[in-house]
Amino acid sequence: MVNLDSISTGLLQRSAGSDGASKSFMTLLYWLYDGINLDYGSKKVKKPARKLILQSSSDSDSEYVPTGHQPIIRSESESESSDDEDSVRGGSPPRPPMPEVSVCSQAPSPPPFSIPISLPHNFPIITSQPSSTIPIPTPIFFEATTTITGCCSAKCQHVKHQASVSERLNELQGYLALESRVMDELALKTTQLKTQTLKLNQANKELEALRSERSVVKSSVGNVHSILLHLLEAYDSVLTILVRHHLAEKLRPALDILSRIEGVTESVVSPQHGGEEKKTSS
């Protein structure tokens, strides 16, 4: 048998702490449960009528006021059984039948579904930091700021490095241009030196040729001069002096030419009176 008292009491308790709409809905459910008579093979259950007085929706408290006993509505079978009991008891005239009141019977709604949850009675209060620190992820805006800063610094460094490289390349180009000028001048000097070397070699060859010719002429002049002296000594001394003086005047230009040759010194013999000879070097 369904316990209507527990159901109605639960509905009243549910409607006590709710707002206006919830209270109205719970009141309606209460009246539906209160107006139904269920018979599951036992005697019918009769409940006195109850009245739920609800305050305005602005008030958070509600008050349940049970009303006095209202006239109980009996069905035909109950009235017949009561008439039979009265006739047996003997006495009183039969009561007029009570008007029937139609009550809409509805099927009992299932109880609300509830999930059992076990909660601790005393919640621990954390007053100190946990021993193990949980790593906090870095905010994304901080990472974005760091990335932008790194990009800007990298761009600045790239610009500075590019400027330094360009400056260094300009300096190297200047050095290369200077080196090219020096190399051109060096090549010119080398060409001139080679030309002068060739000229010097040619002059040395000519000098060697002149020296060889001078030695030949010198030997020839010396031979002629000695031969003439030997011939003149055989004659008179006076004649010999005159002839030697004349030969010295004739041979002097040739001896001067020989003496002007570089590195050549030649002694000239000039005749003197009395058979003396004076040697001069030029």
* pLDDT value at 103 more than 80: no
For 108-129, what is the mean pLDDT? 60
Give me the pLDDT at residue 38, please.
45
Domain assignment of residue 52, given as a range: 4-89
Q: Is there a domain that residue 84 lies in? A: yes
When mean pLDDT is compared across 135-139, 146-150, 259-263, the lowest value belongs to 259-263
Residue 152 shares a structural domain with residue 232: yes
Nearest-angstrom CA–CA distance, 7 and 47:
12
pLDDT recorded at residue 271: 46
**Distance set, CA 30 to CA 13, 72, 139 (Å):** 11, 18, 56
**Looking at per-residue confidence, does 123 or 166 come out higher?**
166
Q: Which of 89, 123, 157 is the last residue of a domain?
A: 89
Please, which residues have CB within 8 angstroms of residue 266's CB and are 6 or more apart in sequence?
A: 218, 255, 258, 259, 281, 282
- Which of 41, 60, 89 lies at the terminal end of a domain, its last residue? 89
Q: Look over the chain and give the mean of its residue pLDDT values, rounded to a whole number.
A: 66
Residue bearing tokens 């080679």:
194
Q: How many CB atoms lie within 10 A of CB 110?
A: 6
**Cα separation, 9 vs 12, whole angstroms:** 5
Q: Do residues 274 and 159 both lie within one domain? A: yes
Q: Is residue 83 part of a domain?
A: yes
Contacts of 264 (CB under 8 A, 6+ apart): 214, 258
Distance CA 63, CA 12 (A): 10
pLDDT at 19 over 80: no
pLDDT at 97: 57
Residue 105 confidence (pLDDT) above 60: no
- Cα separation, 267 vs 279, whole angstroms: 6
Query: Residue length, the chain?
Result: 282
pLDDT tens across 194-241, in order?
Answer: 999 999 999 999 999 988 887 887 777 777 767 766 666 656 566 667
Cβ 61 vs Cβ 53: under 8 Å: no
- At 166 the pLDDT is 92
pTM of the model: 0.28
Tens digits of residue pLDDT in 22-55: 666 766 676 666 555 444 444 444 555 454 444 4
Taking alpha carbons only, the member of 32, 36, 57 closest to residue 47 is 36
The pLDDT of residue 201 is 94
Q: Does 13 map to a domain? A: yes
Confidence of residue 165 (pLDDT cuts 50, 70, 90): very high
**Residue 82 pLDDT > 60, yes or no?**
no
pLDDT at 205: 93
Q: What pLDDT is recorded for position 56? A: 45
Q: Using alpha carbons, select from 281, 275, 273, 274 the residue that is nearest to residue 229.
A: 275
Q: Residue 210: name the closest of 251, 257, 252 by CA.
A: 257
Specify whether 198 is located in the same domain as 273: yes
Q: Where are the alpha helices (DSSP H) in the chain?
A: 4-16, 20-34, 76-89, 140-233, 237-260
Crossing angle of the two packed helices 20-34 and 4-16, in degrees rounded to 10: 170
Summarize the confidence of residues 74-96 as an average pLDDT.
53
Which of 89, 110, 133 terminates a domain? The answer is 89
Quick one: tokens of 39?
């018979």
Confirm whether 169 is domain-assigned: yes
